[in-house]
Structure 1
Amino acid sequence: MSALSGVKVLDLSRVLAGPWCGQALADLGADVIKVESFDGDDTRGMGPLYLGEISAYFACANRNKRSLCLDLHRPESAEVIRALVKDADVLIENFRTGTAERLGVGYEALRAVNPRLIYCSISGYGRTGPDATRAGYDYAVQAEGGLMAITGERDGAPNKVAVAVVDLATGQNATIAVLAALLQRERTGRGQQVAVSLFDTQLSWLANIGSSVLFTGQDAPRYGNEHASIVPYQDFRASDQHFVLTVANEKLWQALCEAVGRPEWIDDPRFCSNRQRVLNREAVSDGLQAIFATRPMAHWLAEFGRRGIPCAPINSVKQALESPLAKANGNVIERDGIPMVASPLKLAESPVELRHAPPRLGAHSREILEQAGLDFDRYAALGVVK
């Protein structure tokens, strides 16, 4: 059995953070019903990359789910949701604050139907406070939450991260919260509402940089591809191309000095500890760069590999997905002609499995309603489902 076999999830969310949570639960074995409007999840239209009617964007966050096409603005739709909630374990939503209540699918209304329900609310800025009703978008939160200010070249413009990392991290936080609430329910028999927001998640993801600002009261500078508090921990240019070098402790620094033919640097007072290397960052970087520029990348990676010094080429996305390591780890999977990146979760006794490709819009509407004891044809005639 999968880890979450028997767990039923209603995923009323759209785009990325909520669907990412729903997909993680589905990969772990939960029966996840993706409730979509008649237009479908926004990501169904985020092309132009499609295989059949499935967009690449939709495919990344919606495998292992069943699709129910439901017009939540029709008053009868609340009847459908209540029928599904009766035996559901989890509901995920990322409506603007107040919308779920107006649609009749808010927490208080559904808790009355099923007190064991775990109700997961995902928002941009929290469900209370001055920005509770604002729509939350990853790009905006990267900007407001400090991430863009520390991303990019030192003297260049602030940059966003190419992938929607705030959405993805929020989806992971939602997954953690849901699993914790399910465990708590085993002890108490009661469900609860859990809430995560993009803004809260982004601030927590400032990690050591956020802590440094709190410690000093000084704002965080931008370091480009360098690390704020470890040197050398950055990209360098060999004679042919760039690579990344990560020297995170003194043993590795000593091995690096030997590898580049500079054993005297080990006892050099400018470089003898990471603290000193951070204070003399330019001298370290410039000295290493002059050496690395004399030989091709393959030479340096081989030298470092023999000494156990962490280093890596800077692969393109295609190179990463097609790498021998990705093949060996089974990182790329396919179902019904749709290629996807596999779940990173590895459970020895209850492994994740690919049961369903990302579904066509409304592919399971009849099946889901009939399993709930509802008359699909009646609701279809009312314009509630399709």
Structure 2
Amino acid sequence: MQQPQQNTTSAKANTNTNTSEGPLAGIRVIDVSRVLAAPFCGQLLADMGADVIKVEGPNGDENRGWAPFNASGESCNFMSVNRGKRGITLNLKTERGREILYEMLAGADVLIHNYLPDVAEVLGIDETLFREKYPHLIVCGISAFGAKGDMRNRPGYDSLLQAFAGIMGFTGERDGQSVRSGVSFVDMTTGVFAYSAILSALMGRVRTGKGSNVRASLLETALGLLSYHGVSWLEAGVLPQKEGSGLWSQVPYQAFQCKDVELVTGALNDATWRRMCQAIGRLDLRDDPTLATNAQRLERRQEVIDIFAETFLQDTAANWTRKLGELGVPVAPMHTVAEALTHEQSLINGMVLNMTDQDGKAIRLLGVPFKVGDTASFARRPPPRLGEHTEHVLREYVSLSTADIAELREQGVI
């Protein structure tokens, strides 16, 4: 595992506040979280103009060591969720480290952490205490299995919660092994939910003048994302089934192999079904009264899929995409990540951000998946190097001198 290198030129590089622009300008956030979900929440706040301080232990966030690494030796995983932040090191296992954190919180609006409840208590991150000491503060705690119950202190990652919530159980080919989603959507969506909850708490504070405790978890996210699958079981006793690229409740709606590559298309209503049949030149299917509704097509599911599969093999994905698109049928070619991130539609919507790192090298990061006005991101700062802004931030938040900071380094506090 590649070990992160601590940057000791923090007072010289990238010490400016994130930006004077953005809807969250003036909001100060202390982010003591690690890995994906919670750091992504912090990045979204930074993208909207908040001044986010990334606090790491002396050895750094564990995902600094996760491959792959870019040309400068930085973890792409870490870079993906820490843009726009200032970074400091602070050993919260030491009494002095915790004292410094408490001093910083006096001038902060939001604290984000993802410590297990018992660990948070040991480190002094006590929501009840904070309510008394910092009544203005919004404390956002993100966990794996929720803040209550016997499992609250269990660690967890995206794949575990995909399994626990039942999602992985209906993901994969029919009669095949269960499959993890290729993206860490439980982690990332938890970050989005936490971001939304923090914004709600900030709005509440405008009205009441008081902060609040905000909680999110991978479990609650995964269960919430069951959406109609969950309600279908709760209300109708129907469990979702594995259908590969398809959907158990709709037909046709899946990936089909063309002469060259795959595409995904489908008819999620009966009017689209008729247009889809017309686009592929099968008017006999369009006019068949026994296939007129989705319920009827579900009864003959495999027959319908086989007909479409054989038909799509006769032409290229580009030609089928054009024919289907001309008649308003939803369709998308099966892209690689490279094809998706170089596609004009992705670029024109600001989903690739061009930035410059601390060494003046060009870096590219994913854009913000929502926009405020025409701005893709209000963040101007690249992901921080380990400890890059320690000296500057401690001067700003805690009024420490150069000698004080040097002593803290000798003591292993920062």
Please indicate the TM-score interval, normalised by the length of the shorter structure: over 0.9
Contact preservation (8 Å) 1:81, 1:105: no
Aligned position for 2:359: none
Q: Which moved more, 1:330-339 or 1:136-145?
A: 330-339
1:27 is displaced (CA, Å) by 0.3
1:346 is displaced (CA, Å) by 1.0
Which residue, out of 365, 375, 378, partners 2:404? 378
Which residue, out of 367, 381, 398, partners 1:356? 381
Which residue, out of 253, 264, 267, partners 1:233? 253
Aligned position for 1:97: 117
1:94 is displaced (CA, Å) by 0.3
1:246 is displaced (CA, Å) by 2.6
Task: Output aligned runs, 1:59-70, within 5 Å.
Answer: 59-70=79-90
Q: What is the alpha-carbon distance in structure 2 between the residues aligned to residue 259 and residue 104 of structure 1?
A: 64
Q: Secondary structure of 2:273's match?
A: helix
Contact preservation (8 Å) 1:53, 1:360: no
- Residue 192 of structure 2 corresponds to residue 169 of structure 1: no
Structure 1 residues 380 and 100: alpha-carbon distance in aligned structure 2, compared to 1, 3 A threshold: farther
Structure 1 residues 79-102: Cα deviation after superposition (integer angstroms, max 9, x where no partner): 111111112111000001121221
Runs of 5+ in structure 1 lacking a partner? none
Which residue, out of 48, 73, 83, partners 1:28? 48
What is the aligned-residue identity percentage? 38
- What do you get for the CA RMSD once the two structures are aligned? 1.6
Contact preservation (8 Å) 1:85, 1:110: no
Aligned position for 1:186: 206
Aligned position for 1:340: 365
Q: What is the alpha-carbon distance in structure 2 between the residues aligned to residue 110 and residue 215 of structure 1?
A: 41
Aligned position for 1:365: 390
Aligned position for 1:269: 289
Contact preservation (8 Å) 2:367, 2:376: no
Aligned position for 1:201: 221
Runs of 5+ in structure 2 lacking a partner? 1-20, 357-361
Q: What is the alpha-carbon distance in structure 1 between the residues aligned to residue 227 and residue 50 of structure 2?
A: 31
Structure 1 segments of 4+ aligned residues over 4 angstroms from their partners: none
1:279 is displaced (CA, Å) by 2.3
TM-score (norm 2): 0.90
Contact preservation (8 Å) 1:225, 1:235: yes
1:380 is displaced (CA, Å) by 4.2
1:364 is displaced (CA, Å) by 0.6
1:105 is displaced (CA, Å) by 2.4
2:254 corresponds to which letter in structure 1?
Answer: Q
- Residue 310 of structure 2 corresponds to residue 290 of structure 1: yes
- Residue 125 of structure 2 corresponds to residue 84 of structure 1: no
1:153 is displaced (CA, Å) by 0.7
Q: Which moved more, 1:363-372 or 1:46-55?
A: 46-55
1:351 is displaced (CA, Å) by 5.9
Q: Which moved more, 1:358-367 or 1:231-240?
A: 231-240
1:379 is displaced (CA, Å) by 4.7
Q: What is the alpha-carbon distance in structure 1 between the residues aligned to residue 293 and residue 237 of structure 2?
A: 25
Aligned position for 2:14: none
How many residues align? The count is 386
- Residue 319 of structure 2 corresponds to residue 299 of structure 1: yes
Aligned position for 2:331: 311
